[in-house]
Amino acid sequence: MRLPRFKYSGPETLEQALDLLNTHKDDAKILAGGTDLLVRMKKGLLKPKVLISLKALNELSYIKKQDGYIKIGARTPLADIIASDLIQKEARALFQACEKIGAITIQHFRGTIGGNILQDNRCHHYNQSDFHRSGRQACHKDGGKICYAREEADRCNSTCQSDGATALMALDASLILAKKGAKRTVDLADFYTTDGIIPHAMESHELLREIIIPLNGAQSSYQRLAYRSAIDYPIVCAGVLLKHSSKNEIEEARIVVGAMSRSPLFLAQVSSSLKGKKLNDTIAFKKAADASMDSSAAFAVHNVGATLEYRCAMVSQMVFQALEQAAKCIKG
C-alpha cells in the first residue's frame, strides 16, 4: 500500500513547529515515529496534506525530576523510558508498559511516549485497507452511520489500546499541550472525550509537549495480556497505583483498565473500595479485580480480535496481578 501524497515540513524548533501547526491546523498532522500515523495513511484512513516532523526537536526528548514531578518530553523514545532508573523506581507502571510496546526495534528507533498516548483508537472493522472498506457501508469512524462492532450502535465503539495511556492514568499523570504563544495543562483523565471518532480533547493546532507524573511515594504496576511477545496490542491491560500508610494499609488506590473502551477506564469506585485494606489482603484484591471486570465489561465490544468473554474474564486477571505486583513492590 502506498502513502498518499503530502507535503513534508521539518521544523528545527518547537516555535517553528507550533507556527506551522497554527498555519495548517486541520490539514496537518504531527509525525514523530510514524508507527501509527503512517500505517493509517497507507490504509487510506486519513490523508493529511502536511506532515510536520518532530525529527529535529530534541528539546522535546528528556526525562527529569523537578519540583516533585517526573517530567517527560513527549518525543522521548520508549527505549529511553525503559532505560531510565528514575522511571523504573518511581513510576514503575510506565516502565512496564513501555517495555511491552511493539518490539525492541520500534522502542529504539521509532516509538515515542507521546506517539503512544496519541495513537488513534482501533477496531478490526475500521483498521482495514480502503479497498476492504469500499466494499461496504462506512462506519461511524469512517464518516458513515453504522457500527460493525456493536449492532444498532449510534456511536463509534473503537478502542483505546495504548499501553502508555493506561499506565499514565494510573499514575495520575497530566499533559502539557502547547500551541502558538500559549500552553495548558490537562489531567490525563480529562484528556479523553470518550468519543471513538475523536478520542482526544485536543485542538488541531495544539501539540503534546510534556507528560508530568506526580511523585508521591506510591508504587505502581502495569500488566497486559497479548497473544504474542512482540508487536501485538494488548487484548486487555491494567494499571494500578497504591499509596500506603505507615500501618501497611492502603491510603489511596488507582485502578485503570485499558484496551476495553474508548479511553482507559479509571475505576473510581472500585479504587476507593480498597482504602484502608491491608497490603496483603488477597481477598480484597480479588474482589476489586472482579468488580473491575464488572465495571469495564459494559464498555467492551468485539473489535480487537479476541472474544469478548475472554477479554472480560482477563480484566480480573490483569487487575489482580497488577495489585499483587504493586503491593509486592511496597513490601519488597
Partner 1 sequence: MSNNKSQFSAVGKRIPKLDAAQKAMGRAEYIQDIKLPEMLYGRILYSKFANANIVKIDTSKAIALPGVHAVLTGEDVPEKMKMGFIKDNPPLKKGRVSCFRDEVAAVAAISPEIAKKALDLIEIEYEELEGIFDPEKAMEKDSPLVHEHLKSNVLKMPWNIHYGDVEKAEKESAFVVEDRFTTTWVTHCCLGTSGAVALFDASENLTIYTNTQIPSLAQKDFLEALKSMGLENKRVRVIKPIIGGGFGSKLDTYAYEHIAILLAHKCRKPVKIVFDRAEEFKATSTRQPTVIYIKQGCDKTGKLTFRDMRMVLDNGGHTSWGATTPSVMLMPISSLYTVENVKYNAKCVYTNNTYSQAMRGYGNPQATFAIESSMDILAEKAGINRIEFRKINKNHSGDETPQGLKITTCGLAECIEAVEKELKFDGKNEKGIGTGIASLIHVGGGARIYGSDGCGAMLKMDDYGKVDIFTGGTDMGQGLDNITAQIVAEELGLLVEDINVVHSDTDICPWDVGAHASRSTFVAGNAALGAAKKVKKKIQAFASKLFDVPADQVELKGKLVLVPGDPEKSMAIGKLLRKAHFSAGGTMLMAEHFYDPDNQNMGKELKGNMSMTYSFGAHGAKVKVDEETGKIEVLEYVAAHDVGRAINPLLLEGQVYGGVVMGLGYALSEEVVHKNGENMNANFRDYKLFTAKDAVKIKAPIIETDDKDGPFGAKGIGEPGCVPTAPAIANAIYDAVGVRIFDLPITPEKVLAALKEKKSATTKI
* Interface region with partner 1, contact rule CB under 8 A, candidates 8-16, 139-147, 200-208, 228-236: 228-236
Please select the residue that binds partner 1; options are 68, 135, 143, 181, rule is CB under 8 A: 135
Q: Is 268 in the site for partner 1 (CB under 8 A)?
A: no
Residue 180 phi/psi, 5-degree rounding, is -60, 120
In the complex, least distance from residue 1 CB atom to partner 1, rounded to whole angstroms:
5
Q: Is 229 in the site for partner 1 (CB under 8 A)?
A: yes
| Helix, strand, coil percent content, the chain, rounded in steps of 5 | 35, 25, 40
Q: Is 1 in the site for partner 1 (CB under 8 A)?
A: yes
Q: Is 132 in the site for partner 1 (CB under 8 A)?
A: yes
Q: Using alpha carbons, list the distances in angstroms from residue 201 to 63, 130, 189, 195, 227.
A: 25, 27, 11, 10, 31
Please state whether beta strands 63-66 and 207-214 pair in parallel, antiparallel, or not at all (unpaired).
Answer: unpaired
In the complex, least distance from residue 59 CB atom to partner 1, rounded to whole angstroms:
32
* Interface region with partner 1, contact rule CB under 8 A, candidates 53-61, 127-135, 171-179, 195-203: 127-135
Cell of 82: 525503559
Residue pointed to by grid coordinates 484512513 = 45
Closest Cα to residue 182, out of 330, 311, 306, 14?
Answer: 14
Residues 6+ positions from 29 with CB-CB distance below 8 Å? 37, 46, 48, 50, 51, 52
* Interface region with partner 1, contact rule CB under 8 A, candidates 52-60, 238-246, 265-273, 312-320: 312-320
In order, the DSSP letters of 233-291 are PPSEEEEEEEEE-TTSBEEEEEEEEESSSSS-EE-HHHHHTTTT-BTT-HHHHHHHHHH
Q: Is 307 in the site for partner 1 (CB under 8 A)?
A: yes
Nearer to partner 1, 195 or 232 (CB): 232
Please select the residue that binds partner 1; options are 225, 241, 250, 323, rule is CB under 8 A: 225
Q: Is 2 in the site for partner 1 (CB under 8 A)?
A: yes
Per-residue interface string for the shown chain with partner 1, residues 101-120, x marking contact by CB under 8 A: --x-----------------
Q: How many residues bind partner 1 (CB under 8 A)?
A: 27
Nearer to partner 1, 125 or 200 (CB): 125
Torsion of CA 164, 167, 170, 173, to 10 degrees: -40
Q: Is 134 in the site for partner 1 (CB under 8 A)?
A: yes
In the complex, least distance from residue 306 CB atom to partner 1, rounded to whole angstroms:
7
Nearer to partner 1, 263 or 303 (CB): 303
In the complex, least distance from residue 201 CB atom to partner 1, rounded to whole angstroms:
27
Q: Is 143 in the site for partner 1 (CB under 8 A)?
A: no
Cell of 107: 522502542
Helices and strands, counts by H and E, the chain: 12, 12
Residue pointed to by grid coordinates 527505549 = 79
Nearer to partner 1, 129 or 269 (CB): 129
Torsion of CA 268, 266, 320, 289, to 10 degrees: 50
In the complex, least distance from residue 182 CB atom to partner 1, rounded to whole angstroms:
38
241 near 254, Cβ under 8 Å?
A: yes
Q: Which parts of this chain interact with partner 1 (CB under 8 A)?
A: 1-2, 103, 124, 128-129, 131-132, 134-136, 225, 227-233, 305-307, 309-310, 313-314, 317
